[in-house]
Amino acid sequence: MSTGRDTVSRSWLGRILQLSPQQQDYEALPNDTTTTSSSTPTTATSGNPRPTTMPGSFPESDTTTLLTPGPPSRINKFTLWINLLIIQPLIFAVRIIFRIISKIYNLLFTYTSPTIDPIAKVNKFVRDLEDDMTPGEPPETLPPFFQGSYTQALYMATQRGKFLFVYLTNGNNESSSQVFRSIIINPKFVRLFSDEVIIWGGDLTNPEAYQLANSLNVTRFPFLGLLCLTRSTTMSPSGPVKTPVKISLVARVQGGIRTGCNIDELIQSKFINKLDKYSGELQQIRMELQEKFLNQVLIKQQELNYQMSLEKDRLKKLEKEHEKLTKLYLAYHAPKYHELGVAREDCAKIAIKLVDGARNVVYFPRDMNVDDIFMYVELLTRGYLQDREITSTLSQQEAATKFKDFTMHYKFKLSSPLPPRTSLNDMRDCKIQDVNIIYPSGLLIVEEM
């Protein structure tokens, strides 16, 4: 009986879920041996004993039967194909579209911070200081602030051996005006500045001033410091040795000024005494820097002169080689121009007036180039046409190889005296018959360049 019920259940469930007997899902089903009623006794009718619940007996625990795993249903297959063919491509396309939109947005609306001009920042700082002055005070009341960036001011201090005052302010600090009026525009302080003592200033909105405040460990504003090159002397087995020079902060005033403080004594003790203390050593450092600079200039000049000498020797060598090749070139081509003094048909009759006033009448075949006229003048002035014993031993193949990259240089120009005066130097590649000032006849004047 139970076997028949199992078969019916599986066939009914298989029709609903379209399961195959080869592969089914795991599913828990109640065992047929489980009692359907705990109060009604049952007996087997076909020879198979049925469990009977007796009073006082323990109920049997329900057991489950696991079915074998089966393939996905048609709905699952349909969902899988929808995911692969529609959803995934759609997600991929949306990602691509959003990336493209993001790129376009970044290109159109990217914010670029304006370039900060250090000199403009310094000029603005000085103008702000002038605004803090009492109306009617002359501009000379302010110290001569360095018109440049801090990097440039530091270069002057390290490479030219100058004292460098730095004045850093914070616009939100109430003590700034006190220090400004008590020290910065104090005549005793202003008189300190000369060619060897400079001052640079800036507020915290200037990136250079902000970085400088961090490097100097400034904790309170306003800040007024004195920088200069310093070095110390150490003992060694061979005697006292001076350490390399470095830029150092030798004096500082930061924050507010105490009530009742004598400003003149403060300027004297903080700055004037420091200037006197380090001026002697700094003067020696300055002389060493100048000597080093002059030596570098001398070395560079010597190197430049050496390179110029090498270049001059190289050009002389090239010129000598070119002149040697020119003589071979002229000797090889001279026989071609020996008979041009004889009149012939289809020739251009050209009178050539040389630099020394001599006049020669030459008959050039009309299919020759204008460059042949230049070659004739060069051969004539060098004497190759007068001395026919000058010959070349080069074969045609040897000449083609030797003169492959050779270019003839002429140090004269040929021009027609008839107005408008026309120079032939730019027509050397033209045929003689194509130049109407020399064909069928013409007059040319040789002029040195």
DSSP 270-301: IIIHHHHHHHHHHHHHHHHHHHHHHHHHHHHH
Size of the chain, expressed as the number of residues it contains: 449
The residues, any chain, with a CB within 8 Å of residue 135's CB and separated by 6 or more, are: none
Distance CA 266, CA 251 (A): 11
Distance CA 129, CA 149 (A): 17
Q: In which order are the strands placed within the sheet that holds 441-448?
A: 359-365, 347-353, 441-448, 412-415
Q: In the structure encoding, which two tokens stand for residue 228, read together?
A: 């200069």
86-128: per-residue pLDDT in tens? Answer: 888 889 889 899 889 888 887 777 655 556 687 888 889 989 8
Tokens 């009986």 correspond to 1
Pairing state of beta strands 197-203 and 163-169?
A: parallel
List, in order of start, the domains of the chain with CATH numbers.
118-234+241-293 (3.40.30.10), 338-448 (3.10.20.90)
382-402: per-residue pLDDT in tens? Answer: 999 888 888 888 898 999 999
DSSP state of 72: P
- Count of CB atoms situated within 10 Å of the CB of 352: 19
- Count of CB atoms situated within 10 Å of the CB of 289: 16
Examine the pLDDT at 294 and tell me if it is beyond 90.
Answer: yes
Q: Is 447 helix (H, G, I), strand (E, B) or coil?
A: strand
Q: In the structure encoding, which two tokens stand for residue 146, read together?
A: 């360095």
The residues, any chain, with a CB within 8 Å of residue 436's CB and separated by 6 or more, are: none
Give the closest residue to 389 by CA, choosing from 328, 342, 336, 331: 331
Examine the pLDDT at 28 and tell me if it is beyond 60.
Answer: no
Quick one: how far is CA 311 from the chain centroid?
Answer: 32
Strand (E) or helix (H) holding 216: none
Examine the pLDDT at 380 and tell me if it is beyond 90.
Answer: yes
Quick one: how far is CA 444 from the chain centroid?
Answer: 56
Radius of gyration, CA atoms only, the chain: 53
Q: Is 442 helix (H, G, I), strand (E, B) or coil?
A: strand
Q: What is the mean pLDDT of the chain?
A: 83
By the 8 A CB rule, do 357 and 363 touch?
no
Residue 33 pLDDT: 42
Residue 83 pLDDT: 82
404-438: per-residue pLDDT in tens? Answer: 989 999 999 999 998 888 899 999 999 999 999 99
By the 8 A CB rule, do 442 and 352 touch?
no
pTM: 0.55
Q: Is 226 helix (H, G, I), strand (E, B) or coil?
A: strand
In terms of pLDDT, which residue wins out, 364 or 64? 364
162-209: per-residue pLDDT in tens? Answer: 999 999 998 777 667 888 889 999 999 999 999 999 999 999 989 999
Residue 55 pLDDT: 52
Residue 108 pLDDT: 77
Examine the pLDDT at 13 and tell me if it is beyond 50.
Answer: no
**H-assigned helices in 110-159:** 118-132, 150-159
By the 8 A CB rule, do 356 and 308 touch?
no
pLDDT category, 341, cuts 50, 70, 90? confident
In terms of pLDDT, which residue wins out, 201 or 256? 201
pLDDT category, 132, cuts 50, 70, 90? confident
Give the closest residue to 211 by CA, choosing from 144, 157, 151: 151
